[in-house]
Structure 1
Amino acid sequence: MESRWSENLKLLSVYIARTILRQIATVTMVLLGLFLFVAFLDQLNDLGVNNYGILEVSHYLLLTVPRTLYELFPIIALLGTILGLSMLAGDSELTIMRASGVSLVQIVWAALKVGLAIAVVAVVIGEWLVPLSESSARKVKIEAMQADLDMGIESGVWLRDGQMYVNIREVLPNLSALDVNIYEFDQEGNLRAMAHARQAFFNIEGWRLEGVEQTLIEQDSAKGVDINSAAWSTVVTPQLLKVFLINPIEMPVWHLFRYIDHLQANDQETAEHELAFWFKVLLPLSTLVMVILAIPFVFRSQRSMGYGRSLFIGIVVALVFYALSKSFGYSVLVYGVSPFLGAVIPLLLFFIVASFLLHRAS
């Protein structure tokens, strides 16, 4: 008898999970469509610049889907769980389950299994797919809009400046550049000079190169010159370099951790990157908290609210979670709040609310 009850519980758990997953798929498609439409409107200002046409815009937006999906996972989990359980509640299936002896804890565990699966998918997408897709998206847009620019994953940024070709290996958040290589050619295409600068930074007087090693190439010989600092006259602007900055959310956690150390070694601000680091670390927990938070709303709707109102409240909660997370992130950047606190406080607040509501629902 006990064995049969255990088998029935497994079947119910699978049934609940499938129902929630179907609704999660629906929510994912709707939210992706909405966010892609907004992203398309945002690209209209750049549409038609050089070779950046409709096909290129579509290609770019398609490549940004993994990042959009990654950032939306907690909200998708919340709304998908509310919809899935609300469907079961609307058909009185949850009531029948409870009357048959299925406890609230068992229903919560069935939903949490879905949340765990979603969290694993989120980690895989965030750590492997997002870095690749965002790098490709940036490359598609930059090369379509700037005919004289090229970007490689390993070789950095390449651009043409008259008779010179410039290679920048890394752009820092303050829009200075590291490992700058400059190659100068004559009208016949012969290499006349090349230089390597440890760093390039922009001030009121323009660009300056630091730690320059220059090689002058003559017909029969080459002469090396070391210069501590030199002015750099170029068409490259800080605004142009800005498009090559990598959004911290695009980096794998291990890469982001090392990059924060790298920025600190170069006296750069790291608050934005630390905030992104903790967001990525805590995202699986955020997904699980949203699943837990969804459950009491559904059981409450069985007693006093309709399906539509339950979903509406879920959307409001999702928006509040999104706004609160952004607000605490803003406080980190503006008021110097600890990035860890900025990332964890919204999550803790919602976990406390979810636990309280779940306790009341039981």
Structure 2
Amino acid sequence: MSKIDKYIGYNVFVGIVIVLFVLVGLFIFFDFVDEVDDIGKQNYGLWQAILFVSLQIPQHIYELFPTSVLLGSLLGLGAMANNSELTVIRASGVSILRIARAVLQVCLPLTLIVMIIGETLAPQGEQYAYTMRSTAQADKEYISFQSRYGFWARDGNNFINIRTIQHDGGFGAITLYQLDEALRLKSLTLAQSAYYEQGMWQLRNVHKDIVEADQVRSEVSDKLAWNAVLNPNLIKSVIVSPEKLSIFGLYTYIQYMRESGQREEPYQLAFWQRITYPLISIAMIFIAIPFVFGSLRTVAIGQRILVGSLIGIGFHILNQTTGNIGLVYNMNIIASALFSPILFVFIAVILMRRLI
């Protein structure tokens, strides 16, 4: 790598780091403001709120990195353009493609590092954060946690296992263990699904085994009321959305949903959106470069930030819209996930060709 390539890469790197630091800082601040109202609930204090917000930093880095690449490239290259450094570099025979390559040499390793963060620290931190918060805000008699086998909770002498959270608000594959005062099993209840209706849980397609002194009696019913203090909103706050799971976690969960006959498309969409993550970063780079050499080469830094922000917001809205449309109309999931990144890469290539 020549000195020119290193200098271009350094300016872009500094711009990306500054933008990422500012954006993550803003999101952390807003997250903490949202948590202020919950401080004081049961055992949830200031330290727990700070810990909850801090544990979400890796996820924010992962989500905000593509936008930071776009804004950081605009700032780094834009500053060089304002100082006429890009003009001198171009006059010395350096092509726009070489400048783009120098930017890629910096951004691709950063993308790899952020992807590793998004696959390791982010999902684990997010999961621990929500579990910690739900446990701290729960009643003293109520203990809950999530494992690879679903959501577990304790309600007095009752232990509850919920394997899946359905998108219509219900729960699937529920197992209830009822113990007596001596912690001996009194009954085992299996339910296909459960819905919270009029302040009470309603179990559906229920099979219940009651342990008696000399026998085990079985009962089967289509619907059974279950009076539990378990808060449905509290459970949902523990469950991490598909977009925040790792690629391996999504793949494993998709296999489970497929084997159990449940709808897997939302998780497939999140899986393919994570696969296309590097493509998004590359698209942001190739969109930023034409703007620096084109209409934004002489404008102020504020205008560059505005244009970059609008592009980033536009991409996010388009990406979410195409994904949701694909889910609603049962379109091909891979095509729905790839549409926005490929469209932006195509636009970037057209803009680059007009400069070369």
* TM-score over 0.5 for the pair: yes
| TM-score normalized with structure 1 length | 0.86
Determine the C-alpha separation between the residues in 1 that align with 2:24 and 2:68. 10
Q: Report the equivalent of 2:273.
A: 279
Structure 2 distance, partners of 1:56, 1:130, is: 18
**Match of residue 355 from structure 1:** 349
CA distance in 2, matches of 1:150, 1:190: 18
Letter in 2 for 1:103: S
Instruction: Please tell me whether the aligned partners of residues 149 and 160 of structure 1 are also in contact (alpha carbons under 8 angstroms).
Output: yes
Displacement of 1:190 after TM fit?
A: 4.2
Residue 63 of structure 1, CA deviation: 0.7
Aligned residue among 284, 296, 318 for 2:312? 318
Q: Tell me the residue number matched to 1:170.
A: 163
Q: Are the structure 2 counterparts of residues 352 and 144 from structure 1 closer, same or farther at C-alpha, using a change threshold of 3 Å?
A: same
- 1:126 and 2:118 are equivalent in the alignment: yes
Comparing 101-110 with 85-94, greater Cα deviation is found at 85-94
Q: Which residue of structure 2 aligns with residue 4 of structure 1?
A: none
Which runs of no fewer than 5 residues in structure 2 stay unpaired? none
The alpha-carbon distance between structure 1 residues 302 and 144, as it changes in their structure 2 partners (threshold 3 A), is closer
Q: Where does 1:1-150 land on structure 2 (aligned, <5 Å)?
A: 10-147=2-139, 148-150=142-144
Deviations 1:239-275 (A, max 9, x none): 4432333311222213312322322333333332122
Name which of 244, 252, 255 aligns with 1:250: 244
Q: Name the SS of the counterpart of 1:243 in structure 2.
A: helix
- Which amino acid is 2:21 matched to? M
For 2:303, which of 301, 309, 312 is the aligned residue?
309
Aligned 1:158-237 pairs, distance under 5 A: 158-162=152-156, 164-174=157-167, 175-178=170-173, 180-186=175-181, 189-195=182-188, 197=190, 199-202=192-195, 206-208=201-203, 210=205, 212=207, 214=209, 216=211, 218=213, 223-229=215-221, 231=224, 233-235=226-228, 236=230
Q: Does the Cα contact within 8 Å between 1:173 and 1:245 map onto a contact in 2?
A: no
Q: 1:302 to 1:70 in 2, by over 3 A?
A: closer
- Are the counterparts in 1 of residues 276 and 338 from structure 2 also a CA contact under 8 Å? yes
- TM-score computed with the length of structure 2 as normaliser: 0.87
C-alpha RMSD of matched pairs (Å): 2.6
Q: Offset of 1:351 from its aligned partner?
A: 1.2
- Quick check: 329-338 or 18-27, which moved more? 329-338
Q: CA deviation at 1:324?
A: 1.5
Distance in 1, Cα, partners of 2:298 & 2:83: 16
Aligned residues: 348
